[in-house]
Amino acid sequence: MSHNSRRRKVIFPSRQVVVNNLTKQRKMFHSSLPPWLEHDEPIIEEELETESSALQLETAEECLPFLKRTFPPSLRRADHTRFLMQSLGRLPAGFAALDASRPWMLYWSLSAFGALGVDLANYQESVVDTLRPIQNKTGGFGGGHGQYSHLATTYASILSLVMVGGEEALDLVDRKAMWEWLGSLKGPEGNFSMCVGGERDVRAAYCVMVVLSLLNLPLELPSSSPGRLHGDETFLTGLGEWLGRCQTFEGGLGDRPDSEAHGAYVFCALACLCIMGEPQEIIPRYLDMPSLIRWLSARQHAPEGGLGGRTNKLVDGCYSHWIGGCWALIDAATQTQKDLWSREGLLRYILCCCQGEKGGLRDKPSKNPDAYHTCYNLAGLSACQNYTQYQQSPHNKPYPPLTAAFHWNMSKTPFMGRNSGGRLFYETDRVGFTNPVYVIPAGSAEAARTYFETKPLF
């Protein structure tokens, strides 16, 4: 049997017409299909069929019926809000496996709520009541009652408290114990462990920088830190160099040196560096920018328009943030305003393919919505719909240590489209500004830092 005869025939659906129930407002505007959706066959198709290429073709075939519509659907704001409210309520027995992820359920829902315009102050009391029992006396937060402290759940807990704001929430954190516990995680190569005795990776570095900067903790390591045994004096000692070693031959970054490049680790590394210093100075100092930009730009799929997290992996809605969120940090590092990614392509993928029929957002049309994908799809949508620009410090007055990430300005994109009347979304579909480093509603991180700057260290 010949190779061609074994190939599965991929039939792409015909172009859809504008549905009859478009509102009069939508009829006032015109938005033609982008070039990558106007073809009846794939623009590029590999000659050698592999499991990966077959899955990619199946995914394109799955998504095209949703994408080939002249105008993307509206953001189902009310449905998504109701879905997230359920995630914060009493969950069925099947969710017992997420017992160690309670702070994450809070963070994903609250961050998404913020993007949707929900008043997060209404959740202050319940967030404090949830997190108070899982803060350990030795510092940090566990995932649930009686569990050891872990950087991932500490990160989610701190950001949740920062989002709801207020003295009761912010004063819940034992800052001295937190500082000493973070110091105990300092590794021998400038890196950090996720927990005492745990794995050392890029996530840990990012989480430590987030907590230190938001809580205005001392940059110096505690005297009890194992890092002191290696001659380290501060939390930053050796960290930039270690992050640089995590960059792979492809251009992306792995979780540690000599690991595969992955979108989430790239974001964690870039955001970590943007806390350590100003992006235009510190990112090019430690990373090969041309190869990194080349790797990031290759993560956007056609015809789907969405983003994938690794080479030869499928498009997934969560990478709307993990990859899409990198571009604001890259733009700040390169000091350019020219997009090297398609905002329109990602916006179409999120609105057309990732919205669940009953609320919540998902990986792709064949998957079910969840709080995780809802959070990061909406963060990606914010990146598409809004411009983010870094405000550099004056030449003669550099920002104090670990404060660079509090100087971002956001503005709205006026519209998207290739012709003068083109428009892909309306103001009612726009989500709120998101801080590109902390991935929480803009202003929340700055307010928390300002509050802790008024407090004595310990």
Catalytic residues: 262, 310, 313, 316, 318-319, 363, 370, 373
Encoded tokens for 457: 């260290």
* CA separation, residue 316 to residues 218, 301, 310, 372, 446 (Å): 38, 10, 11, 12, 31
